[in-house]
Structure 1
Amino acid sequence: MSTAEVRAAVAGDATEIARIQRVTWRAAYADLLGEAVLAQLDSAEPEERWASAIEHPDTTVQLATEGRFVVGFCVAGLAPAEDVASASGELPADAGRTGLIATILVEPRWGRRGHGSRLLAAAADELRQRGAERGITWVAESDPASLSFFRRAGWRPDGTVRTLDTGERRLRELRITGELEVVLVG
């Protein structure tokens, strides 16, 4: 059996991260996002954005690997005020100590092997080192797999909802929040 690990991304990983995003979004989110969004993934722009994210000092990009294969990734950092604020725009007392899991994606063919949990635990560790005490993320309301994943980690919707316009569809997302002491289960 191959060894599964999590490691920090380096600039040379941007191509593989863009590939995983493209494959995963096409497999899991095509109905949510629409073809125009998916078509943008075929340009060089996603790879350039991932290279910038990897180099950004306030962002942590980590990769899940199995053997010699990169199978998933996670992007995290301290949460921007607009992600932490209530629907009325008020910031909670812990706004400066809240981390954001911006993305966790595991390529579907590598799913159900614990990669997502390892990525979340590694991101939570990194966020705690940056002074965060709790985490948030945004999940499509119509994405039961991701909602279930975060529920298993002890994270729950906090009642805040946002709607994104993809140009073809409107995507309703729930803000999920949880502790950064993530326990990996079986």
Structure 2
Amino acid sequence: MTVSLRPATKDDLMAVGALHQRSRVAAYSSFLPAEALAEPTPEAMGGYWVQRWAWEHDDHRMTVAERDGRLVGFSYLGPDDQGDPATGLLNAIHLEPDEQGRGTGRALMIDALAAMRSRGWAHAVLWVLRENGPARRFYERGGWSPTGEQRDEHIGTALAPQLRYSREV
């Protein structure tokens, strides 16, 4: 009944996409409209990850979490999106909705920070949706702090303001 982590393979990506879509709907439905979360479909999200992995697998790392042989979460990291060579970007941690509060997200975060250290990065950054209070509290408990930087992204047709967080690795 314990969670195990392993490097993702291309065979995981369609399942990662479906999990990613379920995670987004569960996490964002309290502050984003349903129509914004209806797309992409789980299959389209899987296709997105297949395509993204094809371009980024050399300098990015995806880790999947499994419980009893079932994919229950993933993390994705790579170089800083602002070009700082001493900084890694935690692009994502997503969990199955029923996996929340079981320590899986924390295990994925600890693993991601260790991977960043092993790549020689001294700092880590991430972007989190401003309205996603549970995620912000999760990262703050993990030692992350807001930098004051903000950006606006779209999820479907909805504007989704994001905050940048950082911490030492």
Q: When the two structures are superposed, what TM-score results if normalisation uses the length of structure 1? A: 0.82
Task: Name the counterpart of 1:125.
Answer: 114
CA contact (8 A) 2:17 2:42 kept: no
Taking the TM superposition and a 5 Å limit, the aligned residue runs for 1:28-177 are: 28-42=27-41, 44-55=43-54, 56-81=57-82, 95-166=84-155, 168-177=157-166
CA contact (8 A) 1:34 1:168 kept: no
Task: Name the counterpart of 2:14.
Answer: 15
Q: What per-residue deviation string (whole Å, max 9, x for no partner) do you get for residues 73-128 of structure 1?
A: 111011122xx6xxxxxxxxxx2110000010111101111101110111111111
Aligned residues: 167
**Hey, what's the Cα distance between the residues in 2 that align with 1:115 and 1:162?**
28
**Hey, what's the Cα distance between the residues in 1 that align with 2:161 and 2:53?**
27
CA contact (8 A) 1:34 1:166 kept: no
Task: Name the counterpart of 1:88.
Answer: none
2:23 is the alignment partner of 1:24? yes
**Hey, what's the Cα distance between the residues in 2 that align with 1:133 and 1:100?**
11
- Give SS of 2:38's match: helix
CA contact (8 A) 1:10 1:54 kept: no
2:4 is the alignment partner of 1:5? yes
Change (3 A) 1:119 1:53: farther
Deviation at 1:157, TM superposition (A): 0.1
Residue 48 of structure 1 aligns to which amino acid in structure 2? Answer: G
Instruction: State the identity as a percent.
Output: 27
Is the strand fraction higher in 1 or 2?
2
Could you list the structure 1 runs, at least 4 aligned residues long, displaced by more than 4 angstroms after superposition: none
Change (3 A) 1:10 1:37: farther
Q: What per-residue deviation string (whole Å, max 9, x for no partner) do you get for residues 26-82 of structure 1?
A: 11213544445433321643212212444521110101111211111111011122x
Residue 59 of structure 2 aligns to which amino acid in structure 1? Answer: D
Cα RMSD (Å): 1.8
Give ranges in structure 2 of 5+ residues lacking alignment.
Answer: none
Give ranges in structure 1 of 5+ residues lacking alignment.
Answer: 85-94, 181-186
- Give SS of 2:135's match: helix
- Give SS of 1:40's match: coil
CA contact (8 A) 1:78 1:130 kept: no
> Which deviates further from its counterpart, 167-176 or 147-156?
167-176
> Which deviates further from its counterpart, 112-121 or 15-24?
15-24
